[in-house]
């Protein structure tokens, strides 16, 4: 008997990839293999709609929400499900994006097989809190949260397009326009950073190996920090990550700082603009996310 009382497949009908066809293919296969489980396709209509759908669906029962998307689209579904607060709701992703970091690093078997088998496991999520007190805003990420160079390059990838040479040009452009960002740490120390990344998975951006031994179910996240060192050192670090990896990195369950200037922040594939003075807190939500695949 399936642990899911219904399966909802969320996808962007205007995706530049194959999300609509992939979503229909998955629906057809699951309908044949799980004929007693209700299935629904839910196309999104605007940015943030997947989060609203996920929050609504996850509010009751024991649903499985499958995001046919890349990391950014899956971020919306995960965030919506965790915001709903129903620990019986389960998430999964069918890769239909560019990097697909989460699916690539957590995949254990074909998605349809895992769904049919009801192979549910729990992994960690990253909980981001912006501000403090009653006005604080909470968001969740499945793979990583970054400030500094990571979101700057992400913005250029979105503007310049993805795919081979266009990606290379976008990354070079990101390095060229990058400036370090000032932050104040929780203990009062001030730092000028090139990159600050909180990682729940050991790899990102298809090629970069962030850490040795990091896992999405170990109850901690890795902190990959590069203080202001100059563009050539930043480039050398990026090349090392893409070739032999960055090696062991410190891990923790909590990290907080205040942005001393406006700066972009990235949750998985989603971008957020921080205002100067924003208090940023990252905590591990150990075992918060139920998933299959």
Whole-prediction pTM value? 0.84
Query: Which pLDDT does position 12 carry in this prediction?
Result: 92
Query: Which pLDDT does position 160 carry in this prediction?
Result: 44
Query: Which pLDDT does position 220 carry in this prediction?
Result: 95
Query: Which pLDDT does position 79 carry in this prediction?
Result: 97
Q: Write b or e for each residue in 240-267: b if 16 or more Cβ atoms lie within 10 A of its Cβ, otherwise e.
A: ebeeebbeebebeeebebbbbeebbbbb
Query: Which pLDDT does position 155 carry in this prediction?
Result: 42
Q: Are 97 and 46 in contact (CB under 8 A)?
A: no
Query: Which pLDDT does position 233 carry in this prediction?
Result: 58
Query: Which pLDDT does position 95 carry in this prediction?
Result: 86
How confident is the prediction along the chain (293 residues), in pLDDT tens digits per residue?
A: 899 999 999 999 987 678 899 999 999 999 999 999 999 999 999 999 999 999 999 999 999 999 998 888 999 999 999 999 999 999 999 988 665 777 777 778 999 999 999 999 999 999 999 998 899 999 999 998 988 765 444 444 444 444 444 444 444 455 555 567 899 999 999 988 887 889 898 665 544 545 556 688 999 998 887 665 555 555 555 544 444 445 566 889 999 999 999 988 988 878 888 999 999 999 999 999 999 98
Which residue in the block uniquely carries the two structure tokens 């024991």? 62
Q: Are 76 and 82 in contact (CB under 8 A)?
A: no
Intra-chain end-to-end CA distance of the chain, in Å: 18
């Amino acid at each position: 008997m399936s642990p899911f009382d219904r399966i909802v497949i969320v996808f962007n009908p205007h995706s530049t990839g194959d999300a609509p066809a992939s979503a229909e293919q998955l629906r057809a296969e699951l309908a044949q293999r799980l004929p007693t489980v209700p299935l629904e396709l839910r196309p999104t209509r605007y940015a943030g709609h997947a989060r609203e759908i996920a929050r609504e669906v996850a509010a009751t029962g024991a649903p499985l929400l499958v995001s046919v998307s890349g990391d950014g689209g899956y971020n919306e579904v995960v965030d919506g499900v965790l915001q709903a607060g129903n620990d019986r709701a389960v998430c999964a992703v069918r890769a239909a994006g560019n990097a697909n970091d989460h699916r690539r690093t957590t995949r254990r078997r074909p998605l349809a097989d895992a769904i049919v088998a009801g192979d549910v496991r729990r992994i960690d999520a990253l909980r981001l809190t912006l501000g403090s007190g009653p006005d604080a805003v909470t968001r969740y990420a499945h793979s990583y949260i970054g400030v500094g160079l990571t979101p700057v390059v992400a913005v250029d990838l979105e503007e310049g397009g993805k795919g081979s040479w266009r990606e290379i040009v976008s990354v070079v452009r990101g390095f060229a326009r990058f400036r370090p960002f000032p932050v104040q740490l929780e203990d009062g120390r001030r730092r000028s950073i090139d990159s600050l990344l909180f990682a729940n998975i050991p790899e990102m951006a298809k090629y970069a190996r962030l850490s040795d031994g990091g896992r999405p179910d170990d109850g901690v996240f890795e902190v990959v920090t590069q203080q202001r060192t100059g563009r050539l050192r930043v480039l050398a670090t990026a090349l090392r990550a893409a070739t032999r990896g960055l090696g062991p990195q410190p891990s923790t369950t909590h990290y907080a700082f205040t942005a001393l200037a406006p700066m972009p922040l990235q949750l998985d594939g989603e971008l957020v603009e921080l205002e100067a003075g924003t208090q940023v807190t990252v905590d591990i939500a150990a075992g918060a996310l139920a998933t299959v695949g």
